[in-house]
Amino acid sequence: MSFSVSRPLVLAVVLITPLAGTLAGQSAHSRADADEMLRKVAVIAVNGLSDRPSARRTPVSENEVNAFLEYHAKAELPAGLIDPLITIDDAGRVSGKATVDLDEVKANAGKTDMRTQAALQLLRGRVPVDVTGVLATTEGVAHFQLESAHVSGMPVPKSVVQQVISYYSRTADNPDGIDIDAPFPLPAHIRGIELRKGEAVIVQ
């Protein structure tokens, strides 16, 4: 997986991303913000290639991240994952929505418990998924703690979110996809991500 859509971003996009569809198809983000985020990603990535990267703090705004997703990351997003938009709040809280194709998720779902099966059976087609959680980072390792999840406005158990995450994050090297409860290493020698309202600071 490339740095530009690293695991923290995949988690944000797949499960904690407010729907750009609420904007009735009108873009709220500028190409200038997208290009600025692309520049910052390049700086972070190049610095991370060094065995001894420079100590660096790179602030990225919520608008820059969302513009980047809209203009530069669409080709890297999984098919069926539509119109991501990330909201960053205080105390590490990230929330949002994305449109996902639950028919695809159900058709490719692995073994699930009865509660998950029952919740999935009630839902079909392309639906808004709304999730909130807290991202904590320590010494280059991150952990996401899910707080709430809704599909089409209906609260759903974590296992349903896990099915969505597993489906959209599968790779040849990781056929089971991402485990949302598992800690994960940050790329590019990133030591931490500090979140405050409307902004994330990438610490190398």
Mean pLDDT of the chain: 80
Structural tokens at position 169: 């994050």
Q: Where are the domains of the chain?
A: 3-203
- Burial class of residue 37 (count of CB atoms within 10 Å of its CB; 0-12, 13-18, 19+): buried
pLDDT band at 154 (very low <50, low <70, confident <90, very high): confident
Which residues pair with residue 201 across a beta bridge? 59, 194
pLDDT band at 197 (very low <50, low <70, confident <90, very high): very high
Distance CA 117, CA 129 (A): 17
pLDDT of residue 153: 87
Structural tokens at position 126: 């392309």
pLDDT of residue 37: 92
Entry field: residues in the chain: 204
Tens digit of each residue's pLDDT (9 = 90 or more) over 64-87: 999 998 898 888 777 778 888 889
- Burial class of residue 203 (count of CB atoms within 10 Å of its CB; 0-12, 13-18, 19+): middle
Tens digit of each residue's pLDDT (9 = 90 or more) over 32-74: 999 999 999 999 999 999 999 999 999 999 999 999 988 988 8
Distance CA 41, CA 43 (A): 5
pTM: 0.78
Tens digit of each residue's pLDDT (9 = 90 or more) over 11-32: 544 433 332 333 333 456 899 9
Distance CA 173, CA 65 (A): 27
Output the CA–CA distances (angstroms, integers) from residue 191 to 90, 137, 164, 198, in the order listed: 19, 8, 28, 20
